[in-house]
Chain A
Amino acid sequence: MFKYILKRLFISLLTILVLVTIVFILVRLMPGDPFSSDKLTPEIRLNLERYYGFDKPLIIQYITYIKNLLIGDFGYSMKYVNQSVNSIIADSFPYSFDLGMRGLSISISLGIVLGLIAALNRGKSLDYVSIIIAIIGTSVPDFIIGGLLQYFFGIKWGMFPVAQYKGLEYTVLPSIALGFYTLAMVSRLMRASMLEVVQQDYIKTAKSKGISKFRITYKHQIRNAIMPVVTVLGPTVASVLTGTFVIESIFAIPGMGKYYVQSVQNLDYTLILGMTVFYGAFLVIANMIVDILYGMIDPRIRIAGR
């Protein structure tokens, strides 16, 4: 197990390094530069370039960036004057994280429950309700769900505020819009794996031993059926957190997505780099933790890794 964790840690670190390098190169390949939109005299421009170190060779700039990164310094934004990338991230990330966690917890808990109910009532009306929810969830993109929720619950019926993020009632619509797709995926997966587990021999054994139905469901079926759901948690976390980009722009939430899209449009090199690296590293680490947890839960991996 220890060896397995070490291996995952090593791969994750390499991934982050490759990510930094790719983004560093891509950012420099972008047409135009951060100062091209302002009208500057050549002297000021040269000074600015010297200030940000653009006059040095690319490889030196890269090494400096990596060095600063190691002490957690992302540098200063080129468009938001006097704001460090660290402070922008510190301001905006909590919104994205909060929204992401709400979306994730709604979708995973409700998804598992819905899949469970569907599988236990196979072929009955509750099953069809869950299938319909799953079909809608997987075929409607989140920005459309966001727009429709805004229209019906916000504008037509006035039940929830349409935009911004200032309290519990503000979080309801964006969290649902964000989590709906994942909810559908999880419930589908849970239903399928429950139905598979029911046919296994150990369930028959448990039944023949006279264990109560509730205990069989709780102790034997759910525990085994939940494994496939745990495997997809890593990619799920990634997709939910990237989904916040769109949801934030629809609901005017001041999270990272808004700054990210703006920094890309402004060619704000340091902000693009910092946000991508931060965000990418966050996702890579989240994925790694899920993988390690999975290894701990599943005895087959736990023993094989020793």
Chain B
Amino acid sequence: MEKFTDLNYIDIKLFNTVGKNTTQMEAISRPNLTYWKDAWRRIKQNKAAFIGLIIIVIYVFFAVFGPMMNNYDYTAVNSSKMNQFVSSDHWFGTDELGRDLWTRVWRGARVSLTIGFLSTILNTIIGGLVGGISGYYGGTLDLFLMRFIDILYGIPYLIVSILVMVVLGPGMSSLIIAMVIVGWIGTARFVRGEVLRIKEQDFVAAAKVLGVSDMEIIIKHIIPNIMGLIITNLTMAVPRAIFNEAFLSYIGLGISPPECSWGILAKSGIKMLRIYPYQLFIPSFFICTTMLALNLLGDGMRDALDPRLRGTE
């Protein structure tokens, strides 16, 4: 026993050399996480954002299949069943023309969500291209584009979309066009700022010195570096687009009846508020939870995709 407690008595012959293991030395012990895998892991860990994601998936599912789940058509008027409360026959009740609200709510979801996502994606593509080109090439082009954007940026967003809506006439495609016409400006400004920041960094200079072409630098180095921010920005912009659709439909310039959207449903709900409040409460619930889900998801995306913001808030 005494032999082992005193270090001087440890016999060297008890040990033998293992030597270098050249095959396992370079092995990576854990699975390699790409940026996106890492981001997905973070989103899953963030409970609020994950719940938001699930709500959106559920609503998209119902927007696609909800109107087919019962036998009513969203335009079918039934004068013997006006303003009925929620029942086993009409799951969300009926409106002042006897139309089934379940079908109308999900039909409206289809319109509102399509407008929200499509207009935001188009905004991002156009704004991203203009901002990216302007930021990367700089010079006179940048100067002119930025002065132009500075001027346009000051013009109130909703006023112009109201007028564009009047010119184009009501409907889903004109709503999307109206939102894109005014919406790309913000994205362009923001993307330009990011490109300016990235292109001054050393890894871009290194790529240039190595003789990489402009196109390749943009695709391989700049875009991947700002993609996270762009996607975060996109998630945050969708609820704003849905809100604007609701606003324009509310003042009578968005979707025209018999087509319906959440804005239209809220508008007719407010009309009937005094007598049949459920007609406002039901569509309001879906508008609010969608906005909430998208906001939570957006916050989660920002935390997951933007390493600079990790740890704050």
Q: Which residues of A contact B (CB under 8 A)?
A: 11-12, 14-15, 18-19, 22-23, 26-27, 29-31, 135, 138-141, 143-144, 146-148, 150-151, 155, 192, 195-196, 238, 242, 245-246, 249-250, 260-261, 264-265, 272, 276, 279-280, 283-284, 287
Task: For the complex formed, measure the closest distance between the CB of A157 and the CB atoms of chain B, giving whole angstroms.
Answer: 14
Task: For the complex formed, measure the closest distance between the CB of A159 and the CB atoms of chain B, giving whole angstroms.
Answer: 16
Q: What 8 A-B pairs have minimum CB-CB distances, sorted nearest first? A: A139-B291, A15-B154, A139-B292, A26-B163, A147-B270, A144-B284, A29-B167, A284-B154
Q: List 15 A-B contacts (CB under 8 A).
A: A15-B150, A18-B151, A26-B166, A30-B163, A135-B292, A138-B295, A141-B287, A141-B291, A143-B266, A148-B280, A238-B156, A238-B157, A245-B251, A249-B250, A250-B270
Residue from B157, B166, B253, B312 whose CB has the most chain A CB atoms within 10 Å = B166
Q: How far is the CA of A260 from the CA of B160 in the complex (A)?
A: 13
Q: How far is the CA of A125 from the CA of B307 in the complex (A)?
A: 29
**Of B152, B160, B287, the contact of A144 (CB 8 Å cutoff):** B287
Q: A140-B291, A280-B155 are in contact. Are A26 and B167 (CB under 8 A)?
A: yes
Q: Are B252 and A265 in touch, CB under 8 angstroms?
A: yes
Q: Are A155 and B274 in touch, CB under 8 angstroms?
A: yes
For B289, list chain A residues within 8 Å (CB): 139
- The reply on B288 being an interface residue by CB < 8 A is yes
Q: How far is the CA of A264 from the CA of B209 in the complex (A)?
A: 58
Q: How far is the CA of A29 from the CA of B168 in the complex (A)?
A: 9
Q: Are B277 and A151 in touch, CB under 8 angstroms?
A: yes
Q: Are B269 and A19 in touch, CB under 8 angstroms?
A: no
- When C-beta atoms are compared, the residue in chain A nearest to B167 turns out to be A29
Interface size class of B (residues with CB under 8 A): 35 or more
Q: How far is the CA of A196 from the CA of B295 in the complex (A)?
A: 21
- When C-beta atoms are compared, the residue in chain B nearest to A241 turns out to be B156
For B147, list chain A residues within 8 Å (CB): 11
For A260, list chain B residues within 8 Å (CB): 162
Q: A195-B313, A246-B250 are in contact. Are A27 and B270 (CB under 8 A)?
A: no
Q: Are B247 and A143 in touch, CB under 8 angstroms?
A: yes
- The reply on B64 being an interface residue by CB < 8 A is no
Q: How far is the CA of A143 from the CA of B164 in the complex (A)?
A: 22
Residue from B151, B284, B292 whose CB has the most chain A CB atoms within 10 Å = B151
For A250, list chain B residues within 8 Å (CB): 270
For A19, list chain B residues within 8 Å (CB): 154-155
Q: Are B239 and A261 in touch, CB under 8 angstroms?
A: no
For A155, list chain B residues within 8 Å (CB): 273-274
- Given pairs A15-B151, A18-B152, A276-B163, 4 additional interface contacts (CB within 8 A): A29-B167, A242-B156, A245-B158, A260-B162
Q: How far is the CA of A287 from the CA of B267 in the complex (A)?
A: 31
Q: How far is the CA of A138 from the CA of B156 in the complex (A)?
A: 20
Q: How far is the CA of A280 from the CA of B160 in the complex (A)?
A: 10
- When C-beta atoms are compared, the residue in chain A nearest to B294 turns out to be A139
Q: Mark B152-182, 1 if CB is under 8 A from A, else 0.
A: 1011111110111011010000000000000
Q: Are B288 and A144 in touch, CB under 8 angstroms?
A: yes
Q: Are A276 and B284 in touch, CB under 8 angstroms?
A: no
- When C-beta atoms are compared, the residue in chain A nearest to B262 turns out to be A141
**Of A30, A140, A238, A276, the contact of B288 (CB 8 Å cutoff):** A140
Q: Are B158 and A242 in touch, CB under 8 angstroms?
A: yes
Q: A11-B150, A139-B239, A141-B243 are in contact. Are A279 and B156 (CB under 8 A)?
A: yes
- The reply on B246 being an interface residue by CB < 8 A is yes
For B287, list chain A residues within 8 Å (CB): 140-141, 144
Q: Mark B277-313, 1 if CB is under 8 A from A, else 0.
A: 1001000100111011001000000000000000011
Q: How far is the CA of A212 from the CA of B34 in the complex (A)?
A: 48
Q: How far is the CA of A141 from the CA of B157 in the complex (A)?
A: 17
Q: Are B154 and A144 in touch, CB under 8 angstroms?
A: no
Task: For the complex formed, measure the closest distance between the CB of A100 and the CB atoms of chain B, giving whole angstroms.
Answer: 13
For B250, list chain A residues within 8 Å (CB): 143, 246, 249
Task: For the complex formed, measure the closest distance between the CB of A278 and the CB atoms of chain B, giving whole angstroms.
Answer: 11
Q: How far is the CA of A46 from the CA of B208 in the complex (A)?
A: 67
**Of A14, A15, A246, A280, the contact of B247 (CB 8 Å cutoff):** A246
Task: For the complex formed, measure the closest distance between the CB of A300 and the CB atoms of chain B, giving whole angstroms.
Answer: 17
Q: A138-B291, A250-B270, A280-B155 are in contact. Are A261 and B246 (CB under 8 A)?
A: no
Q: Are B270 and A23 in touch, CB under 8 angstroms?
A: no
Residue from A138, A141, A264 whose CB has the most chain B CB atoms within 10 Å = A141
Task: For the complex formed, measure the closest distance between the CB of B289 and the CB atoms of chain A, giving whole angstroms.
Answer: 8
**Of A31, A264, A280, the contact of B169 (CB 8 Å cutoff):** A31
